[in-house]
Amino acid sequence: MAPDNARPSIAADAHDPNTGAVAGLIVGALGVVFGDIGTSPLYALRESFRHGLEPTPEHVLGVLSVLFWAITLTVTIKYVTLIMRADNRGEGGVLALATLATRGLNGKSRRIRRGITLMAVIGLALFYGDAIITPAVSVMGAVEGLSAVAPGLTPLVVPLSLAILVGLFLLQARGTADVGRLFGPVMLIWFITLGVLGAWQIAKHPGVLHAVNPVYAVRVIADQGLGIFWAFGSIVLAVTGAEALYADMGHFGRRPIRMAWLGLVMPGLLLNYFGQGALIIADPGSVHQVFFELVPQDFVIGLVVLSTLAAVIASQAVITGVFSLTRQAIQLGYLPRMAIQHTSEIAIGQIYIPRVNWILMGGVVALVVGFGSSSALAGAYGLAVTGAMLVDATLAAAVAILVWRWRWQTAILVFGLLAVPDLAFFIANALKIPDGGWLPLLIAGLVYYTITTWRRGRRVVAQELSEGALPLRQFLERMERVPDRVAGTAVFLTADASRTPSAFLHNLKHNKVLHERIIILQVETMEVPRVAETNRVEVERLGKGFYTVIARYGFTEQPDIPDALRACRQHGIAYDEMETSFFLGRETLVAGQHPKISRWRRDWFISLSHSASATKTFFRIPPNRAIELGNQIQI
């Protein structure tokens, strides 16, 4: 494994003293990191008064106070200040956080390790539940501004939203490099516009600033009692996207994200929310489309266009995040292999996963058609986000104890207190389960079932393959008569380089020859984002023309077997593609009875296995040099 300082992470750019470089990263972060949370003003405050809470001045100040402290505690203190300290070689996100916590165990407790893995799987499942809703609610929330232009345009909201979203998904295969250059500047204009519009309304009614006093939050909670949870279920919309600050840390670095949040995003959001509150106090009837009421009627159409652009950018950021996290999940063995296309020869992070794109598009289209408005979708929004935030807080506490070496009492106290708002929001959103909150839970449940089924099935298959498999060294010792050798190199892919691959034994049994050079190659995914090129391969010479090669990749990297073999040159192995044959084992799964997997899981696992991308495609093996040898396994 590469040492901690073996490879400078992308995040190292964040500490570049060059002011221009940092400024560029800040603008770039605006277009990727803050898209989700940046479009929340379109609907968050409006939805807080949808469930019986009257827009009286006292209630408006109370809701604004809750919203202000939610943003301050959850986003600024928990994520920006604390959790962003937990970087796995510059990378963030729930999988990176879980990996960091697991590494801190140093093999101490299998039970704790399993608990951390379980939390990671839950967090990953909740992320997908959130990701499928975000594009629909963001774009619809923006396009609904047409109703403020003219009520007669309301029937166009759904078809126009569908056209925008479908077009966005169709463009994914082309990559986001060209469009991405526009994201940052557009979001810069967006956040400045949010702040200016809010400040304009605050200047008319400066008394709204009293809401920073937490007393107003306490008063509205005491006044509404348990009924405040209905408002909480909508107020949480103001912090959705907070987890993206941490998840996208590897792209821009800690410093640019913090500077962008504290210097522009947070002030712009709070000014806009307080400006909306000032407008509602002055005109309670404006609450239904309060965001678009911030500007005179003649400027509404311009604001609709700008907000739609911001919503598209927020959706693109979510889609990109889904691609990135899916690749990590595949590399770490959480999901079956899928075809991954690289849309840029320069930026390694720009990828496109066709299967995920079409599944996501189908889900988003179904939501837009099925729910018909952002208000209806708001009932489904929030539960997955708050659940994911609770997972992040739990894993961050584990990192604090295991990696930062905090006293466990301190870690539980700090992150326990910061998790209180998340827990309150989670409970509030649980009340919305009948009104659509079941949707993200259903999606997360399906993803969770798929991940756990895949992991369990792969363990069963690995156990079946390992039973009776002869250790490679023992095989070589017993190989008294060396069979006829043929020119060239044979590469046998295996999950365990210490054992004799079944594909090798099948080839030897049927062809009764060996190549003059045999490479037993194992691909190992490390618990780091990237592996230094100097540590890419480990080669061991076994004698009799046999070698073992372990190719190591980080969980954000795409394995490339020919490239790994070229890296073996420094170890005395010259790779010539035209003289090399790749022998791949292909397991055919047959339904049977197995004590470690139920019938339902067995059938789903077999279906997932059949849909997995071919080994030669995923590992970039030249198809004309690959030979597949079948092996039937009953599970």
- What is the C-alpha to C-alpha distance for residues 314 and 135, in angstroms, rounded to an integer? 7
Are 267 and 406 part of one and the same domain? yes
The pLDDT, as a whole number, for residue 563 is: 94
Are 421 and 484 part of one and the same domain? no
Are 592 and 449 part of one and the same domain? no
Q: Which domain covers residue 485, as residue numbers?
A: 470-634
- What is the C-alpha to C-alpha distance for residues 553 and 535, in angstroms, rounded to an integer? 9
Are 443 and 484 part of one and the same domain? no
Are 427 and 474 part of one and the same domain? no
Of 412, 433, 456, the one marking the end of a domain is 456
The DSSP-derived string for 255-270 is HHHHHHIIIIIHHHHH
How far is Cα of residue 395 from the mean position of the Cα atoms in its chain?
16
- Of residues 369 and 529, more confidence is placed in 369
Q: Which helix (H) or strand (E) holds 148?
A: helix 146-149
Rounded average pLDDT over 361-378: 89
The tally of CA atoms less than 13 A away on the side-chain side of residue 564 is 28
Are 417 and 321 part of one and the same domain? yes
Query: Where would I find the H helices in 334-437?
Result: 354-371, 374-378, 383-402, 408-430
The pLDDT, as a whole number, for residue 568 is: 94
Rounded average pLDDT over 606-633: 88
- What is the C-alpha to C-alpha distance for residues 372 and 490, in angstroms, rounded to an integer? 58
Of 424, 456, 488, the one marking the end of a domain is 456
Of 456, 480, 497, the one marking the end of a domain is 456
Q: Does some domain include residue 356?
A: no
- Of residues 256 and 350, more confidence is placed in 256
The pLDDT, as a whole number, for residue 621 is: 93
Rounded average pLDDT over 200-227: 93
Q: Is the pLDDT of residue 6 over 60?
A: no
- What is the C-alpha to C-alpha distance for residues 397 and 411, in angstroms, rounded to an integer? 5
Q: What is the pLDDT of residues 163-189, one digit of tens each?
A: 999 999 998 887 655 555 678 889 999
The pLDDT, as a whole number, for residue 11 is: 35
- What is the C-alpha to C-alpha distance for residues 68 and 623, in angstroms, rounded to an integer? 57
What is the chain's length? Answer: 635
- What is the C-alpha to C-alpha distance for residues 411 and 491, in angstroms, rounded to an integer? 49
Q: Is the pLDDT of residue 404 over 80?
A: yes
For residue 468, how many other CB atoms are within 10 A of its CB? 7
Q: Is the pLDDT of residue 560 over 90?
A: yes
The pLDDT, as a whole number, for residue 241 is: 83
Q: Does some domain include residue 395?
A: yes
Q: Does some domain include residue 440?
A: yes
Rounded average pLDDT over 440-449: 91
The pLDDT, as a whole number, for residue 595 is: 77
Q: Does some domain include residue 350?
A: no
What is the residue whose two structure tokens read 């708002």? 421
- What is the C-alpha to C-alpha distance for residues 602 and 604, in angstroms, rounded to an integer? 6
Rounded average pLDDT over 15-23: 58
Structural domain count of the chain: 2
Residues 6+ apart with CB under 8 A from 597: 456, 457, 460, 605, 635
Contact 254, 14 (CB under 8 A): yes
Q: What is the pLDDT of residues 102-158, one digit of tens each?
A: 888 876 678 888 899 899 999 889 888 888 888 998 899 899 888 877 788 888 999
Cα dist. 150→140, 164, 298 in Å?
16, 20, 11
- What is the C-alpha to C-alpha distance for residues 506 and 502, in angstroms, rounded to an integer? 6
Rounded average pLDDT over 204-219: 95
What is the residue whose two structure tokens read 């165990």? 105
- What is the C-alpha to C-alpha distance for residues 238 and 359, in angstroms, rounded to an integer? 27
Q: What is the pLDDT of residues 276-323, one digit of tens each?
A: 999 999 999 999 889 999 999 889 999 999 999 999 988 888 888 888
Are 427 and 519 part of one and the same domain? no
Q: Is the pLDDT of residue 378 over 50?
A: yes
Are 557 and 593 part of one and the same domain? yes
Rounded average pLDDT over 387-391: 90
Q: Does some domain include residue 139?
A: no
Q: What is the mean pLDDT of the chain?
A: 86
The pLDDT, as a whole number, for residue 529 is: 82
pLDDT band at 13 (very low <50, low <70, confident <90, very high): very low
Are 269 and 319 part of one and the same domain? yes
The domain that holds 69 is classified in CATH as 1.20.1740
The pLDDT, as a whole number, for residue 119 is: 92
pLDDT band at 4 (very low <50, low <70, confident <90, very high): very low
The pLDDT, as a whole number, for residue 5 is: 34
Contact 587, 461 (CB under 8 A): yes
Provide the whole-model pTM: 0.82
The pLDDT, as a whole number, for residue 348 is: 53
Span of 321-330, 479-488, 552-561 with lowest mean pLDDT: 479-488
Q: Does some domain include residue 286?
A: yes
Residues 6+ apart with CB under 8 A from 618: 337, 338, 339, 340, 559
pLDDT band at 632 (very low <50, low <70, confident <90, very high): confident
Are 427 and 514 part of one and the same domain? no
Are 503 and 380 part of one and the same domain? no
Q: Whose CA is closest to 504, among 465, 464, 553, 561?
A: 465
For 614, phi then psi, to 5°, come to: -60, 145
Contact 206, 39 (CB under 8 A): no
- What is the C-alpha to C-alpha distance for residues 358 and 166, in angstroms, rounded to an integer? 10
Cα dist. 209→54, 68, 200 in Å?
20, 10, 13
Q: Whose CA is closest to 389, among 133, 76, 126?
A: 126
Q: Is the pLDDT of residue 459 over 80?
A: yes
Q: Does some domain include residue 152?
A: no
Rounded average pLDDT over 357-380: 89
> Residues of the chain with pLDDT > 70: what percent?
93
Are 520 and 476 part of one and the same domain? yes
Longest dimension (CA), the chain: 94
Cβ-count burial of 343 within 10 angstroms (0-12 exposed, 13-18 middle, 19+ buried)?
Answer: middle
Q: Does some domain include residue 138?
A: no
The pLDDT, as a whole number, for residue 349 is: 58
